[in-house]
């Protein structure tokens, strides 16, 4: 009886350490993104290079976005094949590139509203992530629903790039907050389930933690942007 209790306690402690490690890598990535965004926003030559239009299109921004998509796809699909240090380096690179593309946030919104939205987003994120980690419920049914909703948001956002409807933008952001809040809980739950299956392989667990950090980082950043579009105060 005491052995089984000790084993259960050890498993719970191992899970906590794993989750803390995931949050640490995710937090590091968010700091890199914030620093890159702030630094870029202060540099007129960089802003001109990224957002200057050529033939009616911001070529620099398009190149960055394509590079980001490529990095996310490659890292997500190859994370268990790559050396851990390479995967971590690619994650850091993606975080910096994402920060550069998000520099416009500091130009559009006031610093106060960015800070307050960040704290609200953090509270929502960690609350839902904690729920996903501790719940005994089976959240597997959430996956398909949230994925389809995410596809809908992407399509609607692309359409609204041409329509430029403020109302549609608010509706997309409102639904986006719900979707990414749900994804935070679901992705954390899925991470817990995967960890339980890989707990005997330390190398695989480290790489799983990196993949989990990337996934939760994406949930956090998108939730932050959706909240900012709804409640952010724009500069005059």
- Is there a contact between 181 and 124 (Cβ–Cβ < 8 Å)? yes
Distances (CA, A) of 83 to 75, 95, 135, 203, 204: 11, 19, 32, 9, 11
Q: What is the pLDDT of residues 178-188, one digit of tens each?
A: 999 999 999 99
The reported pLDDT for the residue numbered 35 is: 96
Domain boundary assignment for the chain: 2-231
Question: Angle at the Cα of 46 (from 41 to 48), degrees rounded to 5?
Answer: 100
pTM of full prediction above 0.85? yes
Q: What is the pLDDT of residues 152-168, one digit of tens each?
A: 999 999 898 888 898 99
């Amino acid at each position: 009886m005491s052995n089984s209790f000790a084993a259960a306690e050890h498993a719970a402690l191992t899970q906590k350490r794993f989750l803390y490690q995931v949050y640490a890598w995710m937090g590091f990535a968010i700091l890199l993104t914030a620093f890159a965004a702030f630094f870029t926003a202060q540099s007129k030559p960089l802003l001109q290079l990224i957002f200057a239009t050529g033939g009616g299109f911001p070529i620099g921004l398009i190149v960055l976005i394509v590079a980001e998509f490529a990095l996310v796809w490659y890292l997500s699909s190859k994370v268990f094949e790559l050396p851990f240090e390479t995967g971590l380096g690619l994650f850091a690179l993606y975080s910096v590139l994402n920060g550069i593309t998000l520099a416009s946030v500091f130009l559009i919104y006031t610093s106060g509203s960015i800070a307050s939205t960040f704290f609200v987003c953090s509270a929502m994120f960690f609350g839902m992530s904690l729920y996903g980690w501790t719940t005994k419920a089976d959240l597997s049914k959430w996956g398909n629903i949230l994925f389809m909703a995410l596809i809908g948001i992407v399509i609607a956002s692309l359409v609204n790039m041409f329509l430029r409807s403020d109302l549609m933008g608010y509706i997309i952001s409102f639904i986006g907050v719900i979707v990414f809040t749900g994804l935070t809980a679901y992705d954390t739950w899925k991470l817990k389930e995967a960890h339980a299956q890989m707990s005997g392989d330390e190398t695989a667990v480290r790489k799983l933690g990196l993949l989990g950090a990337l996934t939760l980082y994406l949930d956090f950043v998108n939730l932050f942007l959706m909240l900012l579009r709804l409640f952010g105060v724009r500069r005059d």
